[in-house]
Every structure is written in C-alpha cells, then in structure tokens.
Structure 1
Amino acid sequence: MAYPDTYYKRTMADQTARPALSGTVECDVAIVGGGLAGLSAALQLARAGRSVTVLEAESVGFGASGRNGGFVSPGYATGGEEIARIAGKEKARQLHLLSVEGVDFVRDNIRTLGIADARPVPGIMSVLRYDDGASLKAYAQEVQREYGYELEYMDRDAVRAVLKSERYFQALRNPNAFHMHPLNYLRGIAREIERLGGRICEQSPVTATDLGGAEKRLATAGGAVKARDVLFTTGGYTGPLNGRLKRAFLPIATYVMVSEEAPELIASAIATTDAIGDNRRAGDYYRVIDDGRRVLWGGRITTHAASTAGLVKELRAEMVGTYPQLAGLRTELAWSGLMSYARHLMPQIGRMSPGVWYCTAFGGHGLNTTAIGGKVIAEGILGTSERHRLYEPFGLVWAGGLAGLAVAQLTYWKLQAQDWWRERAA
C-alpha cells in the first residue's frame, strides 16, 4: 500500500523504496514496526553495534508517526498529578525528565545527522481559551523550580498581538520545544540505520511468530527473521498477531487538514511561526507551514472510521470560529490516522517475556515521547540501563475492547461539553 495522500507525502524529500524481506535473515534484534518508536530503537541499537532488522508492513512512517502535527515538546497525554498518583511523585518527575530528554534527542539527531528536510522551527505556544493568567504563572514557576527550564508567560495583549483572535487569553511559550516535518525526519533516521548496517524491510507484514525459545522467529510472506530479541512497536495499526498487545490499547483516529496558499490572509490571523495548541482537553493544534503560505490544522478524534470530509467540516468550523478572518481560506488537503491510546493514557513500554519487548501507545504524547520510548527500550535490550522500568506502573492493561471504544467516545464528547461550558462561563 502506498503512503496516504498527506502534505508530508507530497513534500517527502527522500523517495527511496525499500525491498520486502526475502529469504532467512539472522540478527541480534528484530523490530516489528517502522514508525518513530521502532526506528528510534533501531538507531540506538545500531549505534551500539547490534545487528538489527526492521519489518514494516507498509512503508517507513506509514502510520501516525509520519502523518501527525509535527509537535516536539515535553509531557504526556495525561497530567502530572495523575502520573504521580499512580507511579509516585519521584517517578513522575523522572518520567517528565525523560520527555524533556526526548526533545533534545530528536533535535540532536536532526543536527548531527544533517536531516535538514525535517525543517525544525523553534517555539510552541499553549494558549488558554478562558481568562486565568494566575494559574499559568504558577505552573511556569513550578516547572522552573522542578525541572530547571523556562516557560515564557504571555499576557492577553502579547497573545493577541500574534494570534488575532478574541478566543484566546494568556499563554505559555516553550522556546526549547519545536515543530517539524515528521516523515522527512523518520526517513533521515532510516538512512542512518542502514548506513550503520541495519536492515529495513518494507511491505513485509509479519504473518507468524515463534517467541518461546531463546531464538525468536518472525515469518513474512517472503522470508523469516531469526533473532535473540524481538521488539513490537506497531501502534494503532497493530493486527491480531500479538493479541495481548492489541487488547491493551484502543485505536483512535485523529484528523488533519492543510489550507491553500494564502500568505497574506493567514498572516492577518496568525502572525507567528510558533506551533499552537489550546488548553482544551478536546482541543485543536495548528501551525503555519511552507514559510507562512499555508496552515496545517489538526484536531477531533473518533473511535471508529469516520468520514474525513465530515470531520474536516468540523475542523473548519473550529478554525473559523477562532479566526473569522479565515472564513475564505480553502482547505486543499485532509487526512486521518490511527493512534494507539492505553486506558491509563500513558505509553506502554517494557518486556513482555524473556527477549520479547514492546514500545507502543503513544497517542497524544508527541514525537519527543515516542522517540525517547524507543531510546529507553533499546537501552533495556542492550542492558545499559533499566530506565524503561519507570513505565512499569502503566503496563498492558486491557483497554476494554468494543466497550472501551464506546467509553472513549463518550468521554471525548463529555470533555467537549465541559470545554464549551467553561469557555462560555469565561
């Protein structure tokens, strides 16, 4: 299957197609899934001198890793208080520091590997849609005290000077965070893995596994891989092959649209190169791309296959409700993608059995957390650290199947309603 028609596909710098697996290959580590988690792990393993084979059912970055908003900023999909409640305060602190490290890990790879096509742009703003500057100032002070990095507070006038919308009040700007072209980044990482001797096989879905012995075996239509360790990083596109993994998260769809070229019109509404996310629990995220000539706008989730055209109408309503001056801005392209969400809203990273590892459920966590997940699971496989064990409190709990999907959709609608009432009260 070819890449879906996304902005990232249309602007993909490296068109390399990799052959499917053929014959039997032996290696140290076999990785199932060629998204950001799998490739980050493969990169670290290859850097350590391990032989690695990545089996990707479609193409590198085919899933959510290659068609998301492109945000790289610290944090998780759930709040720090909830993480501390489950894992304890100190582990929550260490987990947050890992997400901070993930930002630096991605940035360092772009710089040291010369992935200019990733087009990193500094700055991400988190904007309030109701008036509560005191809470933002308090949070910025807490982050400075606990983690030693600065978030820039912006009052209402400063926010509205760059975001010409009456919907917005105060904001926190993270100058260390950035946004980028995720698919070009992934393909740059893939090139480096291959330069280090790793093998990446596209169009190679795994059809059978034998994971019981010291030597694991993965079969595809064209061949087989024998390895001492196997890592599953398949995310929202996980099939029934690994039932325990598939049952542990929900596939959730999200939607993105890109506008036509209209730089002057866009600048009349959005006068910043920062990426923007609002504070709603069911919020939107967006950024200008192509040097300000287009807007990429994402949001909405569904727990079933929905009409992308129908969801784009909702996204457009959000955009125009925020920026009435963009009512005439046409949508040129739209797409959706499946993310994986665990019931506890945290990544699932760890060891399933001797030599069998998993690194998944990164929906809503950002590219930084997905990347650091791949890095720490590689450290676990190498035996150089046990940092992956920080995620043990958030294991492979059953996500609830069809009932879980129904609850997730109802929860999303509830959050939307709560957001609406809170903004109306403001």
Structure 2
Amino acid sequence: MANTPYPQSYYAASANPVPPRPALQEEVQTDVCVIGAGYTGLSSALFLLEAGFSVTVLEAAKVGFGASGRNGGQIVNSYSRDIDVIERTVGPKQAQLLGQMAFEGGRIIRERVAKYNIQCDLKDGGVFAALTPKQMGHLESQKRLWERYGHTQLELMDQKRIREVVDCDQYLGGMLDMSGGHIHPLNLALGEAAAVESLGGKIYEQSPAVRIERGANPVVHTPQGKVRAKFIIVAGNAYLGNLVPELASKSMPCGTQVITTEPLGDDLARQLLPQDYCVEDCNYLLDYYRLTGDKRLIFGGGVVYGARDPANIEAIIRPKMLKAFPQLKDVKIDYAWTGNFLLTLSRLPQVGRLGDNIYYSQGCSGHGVTYTHLAGKVLAEALRGQAERFDAFAELPHYPFPGGQLLRVPFSALGAWYYSLRDRLGF
C-alpha cells in the first residue's frame, strides 16, 4: 500500500514527534466518521468527542498533510470576503450570526492550545499592511466594521507607527489586530490529533476514503477497510478529489507558495519584526510573512489556479521577499514548498448537508486557519441538533465557476490579473 509522506517543508522538518498511526485494515463502527485529518476534521472530532460521540477519523496521508500543515501559520480573523460583503448578500439575521462568528475561530485555537497544552509557538499580534492610500482607507473602514461586531483589539497605524513593528519602507500604514497572531500550523494539527486520541477518538493515516455508500447507515470505504457510521463529516477541502462529485463543481483547488530562510539570528530577526507580529499586505494577491520559533523568516504569496506545482518556488517568492526586505539578499533559503487551498466563486465557505447524515464544510478560499476551527464547532452543533449557526452558513448562495471545469482556471487567472493590476496602479 502506498505511503504518502509529508512534503519537504520547514514545518515537517521541525514537527513535534508523534507516534505512528496505522492504516485502517478492518471494519469499524462509530457514531461519526470524519474524512480528513486537517483542521476542519480535527476540530469537528474534538467538539464531538467532548460532547460524548464516538469518532473515527480517516486521513489519506498523514495528520495535517494538506493546507493545515503547509499554510503561512497566521491567525487572521473574519472570512476571505469580509462581513460587509455578507451584509449586502444576505438578510440581517443571517449577517448578524455570521458577523458574530467571524472572530470565534482564533479564540477556539487559543482555548485548544491552553486546554490540551499544545506546543505550537503561539504568538499574539497580526498586522494588515497598506501599500496605497486606498488600502489604508479600506483598513479604516474595516476597523469600524469589526468594532461594530464587538471586536475591539485593533489599532490603526500611520507610517511612523508601522515602521516600529516591521522594518519595511513599502507601507503607508496599517492595522494591528492583537487577537490575531501566528502558530506552527503542523504542530497545532498534531497537538489537536493527540487531543482527539486522548478522548478516545481513532485516527487512521494512509487510509483514503475511496467510496461513500450513502443511505440510512452510511459506510465509508478505504482500500483495506470500511467505517460504518451514523453520520459522516466530509472535511477534505482541496484534497478531497472527486469523492463527492456535487462538492467539486462549485470549488477550485489553488496553490500558494512558501519559502523559509536559514536562521537569521536574534539581532536580524528583531530588526525585521521587533514585536514578532505576523504581517500580510492588502493586495488582492497578497504576500504574508512572520518569524518562526527559531528565528527564520517564513514568506509566502502567489496563487496558482488549478493547483499545479511550480517548477521553481524560490524563483517566484524570493523576489517578493527581497522587495519587502532587501537586507536579506545574501540570506539562504532552506525550504520551499507549495500547498493547496480550495477557492469558491464567492470566496465564502460552503457548508451543508447531503441527505440526512452527510455534513461538509469546504472552500475557505485562503482564509482557513481560524474558519476551520469555527467550522468544527458549527458542524458538531448541527449533529447535536443545534443548527441555527450551521444554517447561517448553509444558506449562503454559491455558484459554479464561469466556464465550468474546463475554463474556470483561465477565467480566474484573468480576474486575478485585473485586480493585481489595480493594486499596482493604486486604484
């Protein structure tokens, strides 16, 4: 049987030691079968176990193999489309519920880290950096919007103030969110998996779900085993493939690229990011970066529509890093990797139920670290019969990409080019 290892990333190289987990080679019975051991699946499993359900998690590769173990590691509030877009799209009650939930994911992460003593280099503070006056105006509006929903840990920064937290002369200003922050994302996933097992949950690695037998008592088949369950949660996101065809038509896997420098040393690291906050800029195709626990710079950006792996990731991302930090021109890149996230046309997550007993959440659209932890709580609530918050997500409208499977990649790339051009021209 094929064994799929982690990609050669900094996160995999610095992961906390974990016990080997077996592949499923038998038939098991459980209350809930979760497909995917990323943040959505692990968060769902934890909330369900805490509520008294029995849970079995199936992972095609290893815990955190997908986006959960490859992302930029930034705790960023709200959704990929902000609450003002939701307010214009849905009714006031639904908008109010979704707005209240927009800041919950980060709190869940911190609660999990504290409750289960997860060692994942958690640091507080995230910066949104403005490159143009228009972007600065957007941050001013965003602060007012978030404060309207009770989120008050925000500070607008002028050009002088932002230079105190990031040694980059590109920015006109920014906004600091002290409820944001950053983590070692794979170690967070591994810690959550250990918490699942501490509560009696079962996790099988190298056990892809190859077929779902739907019905009153659904069965999930793997190459060498099967899981009989009362409920199924589909949490594969960009790595789900065509297991559930109706979920594939309204979403598109996309790749983002990340590089990690050699250790910079305390002095240079402190010069770049004196308060150790994470940073993302406000461009449509944004760049993001932060320091690791051992004082490397992780820098990511770029989107490959359709999730192809670029031949030379460093060639794509290093120029972006040097534009922000020319002082790193002689610094060596130790790791470069790509990871996939799932994009929806609305840029809002897709949540729903197939039949009576198959639940799903997908399509974080590049904003998944916090949302996935919220999604796990919302899915668990729905299985317990408390569906108000689940329904608020499930009722969001979603549409297929223009051009269907064949043309969605070039159409999306053309749209991204247009918005990137507007960013460069300051429109």
Partner of 1:198: 201
Report the AA paired with residue 7 of structure 1. Answer: Y
Partner of 1:419: 423
Q: Could you tell me how far 1:48 is from its partner in structure 2?
A: 0.9
1:177 and 1:361, CA in 2 relative to 1: closer, same or farther beyond 3 A? same
Report the AA paired with residue 38 of structure 2. Answer: G
Partner of 1:281: 284
1:364 and 1:27, CA in 2 relative to 1: closer, same or farther beyond 3 A? same
Report the AA paired with residue 370 of structure 2. Answer: N
Partner of 1:226: 228
Partner of 1:405: 409
Partner of 2:367: 365
CA distance in 1, matches of 2:61, 2:77: 29
- Bigger mean CA offset, 272-281 vs 12-21: 12-21
Tell me the secondary structure at the aligned position of residue 109 of structure 1: helix
1:139 and 1:384, CA in 2 relative to 1: closer, same or farther beyond 3 A? closer
Q: Could you tell me how far 1:396 is from its partner in structure 2?
A: 5.7
Q: Could you tell me how far 1:248 is from its partner in structure 2?
A: 2.2
1:114-263 equivalences in 2 (<5 Å):
114-115=117-118, 117-131=119-133, 133=136, 135-211=138-214, 213-263=215-265
Tell me the secondary structure at the aligned position of residue 379 of structure 2: helix
Report the AA paired with residue 419 of structure 1. Answer: D
- Bigger mean CA offset, 404-413 vs 393-402: 393-402
Report the AA paired with residue 112 of structure 2. Answer: N
Report the AA paired with residue 65 of structure 1. Answer: S
- Which of 64, 76, 98 is residue 61 of structure 1 equivalent to? 64
CA distance in 2, matches of 1:394, 1:312: 38
Partner of 1:10: 13
- Contact 1:349/1:395 (8 A) holds in 2: no
Tell me the secondary structure at the aligned position of residue 84 of structure 1: helix
Q: Could you tell me how far 1:307 is from its partner in structure 2?
A: 5.1
Report the AA paired with residue 409 of structure 1. Answer: A
Report the AA paired with residue 83 of structure 2. Answer: G
Report the AA paired with residue 377 of structure 2. Answer: K
Partner of 1:85: 88
Partner of 1:95: 98
- Which of 336, 342, 345 is residue 343 of structure 1 equivalent to? 345
CA distance in 2, matches of 1:338, 1:35: 12
Q: Which runs of 5+ in 2 are unaligned?
A: none
- Bigger mean CA offset, 277-286 vs 357-366: 357-366
CA distance in 2, matches of 1:203, 1:138: 46
Instruction: Give the share of equivalent positions with the same residue, in percent.
Output: 31
1:360 and 1:134, CA in 2 relative to 1: closer, same or farther beyond 3 A? closer
CA distance in 2, matches of 1:2, 1:135: 42
| TM-score (ref. length: structure 2) | 0.94
- Which of 7, 29, 34 is residue 31 of structure 1 equivalent to? 34
Q: Could you tell me how far 1:385 is from its partner in structure 2?
A: 3.7
Tell me the secondary structure at the aligned position of residue 123 of structure 1: strand
1:267 and 1:195, CA in 2 relative to 1: closer, same or farther beyond 3 A? closer
- Bigger mean CA offset, 232-241 vs 382-391: 382-391
Report the AA paired with residue 179 of structure 2. Answer: N
Report the AA paired with residue 240 of structure 2. Answer: T
Partner of 1:328: 330
| TM-score (ref. length: structure 1) | 0.94
Q: Could you tell me how far 1:351 is from its partner in structure 2?
A: 0.9
Q: Confirm or deny that 1:74 pairs with 2:80.
A: no
- Which of 357, 360, 369 is residue 355 of structure 1 equivalent to? 357
- Contact 1:66/1:182 (8 A) holds in 2: yes
Query: Could you report, residue by residue, the CA deviation over 1:398-419 in whole angstroms, capped at 9, with x for unpaired residues?
Result: 3331311221111222222111
Q: Could you tell me how far 1:75 is from its partner in structure 2?
A: 1.0
CA distance in 2, matches of 1:255, 1:189: 25
Report the AA paired with residue 122 of structure 1. Answer: D
CA distance in 1, matches of 2:56, 2:309: 36
Paired positions, count = 420
Q: Could you tell me how far 1:166 is from its partner in structure 2?
A: 2.1
Query: Could you report, residue by residue, the CA deviation over 1:339-361 in whole angstroms, capped at 9, with x for unpaired residues?
Result: 11111111111212111111111
Q: Which runs of 5+ in 1 are unaligned?
A: none
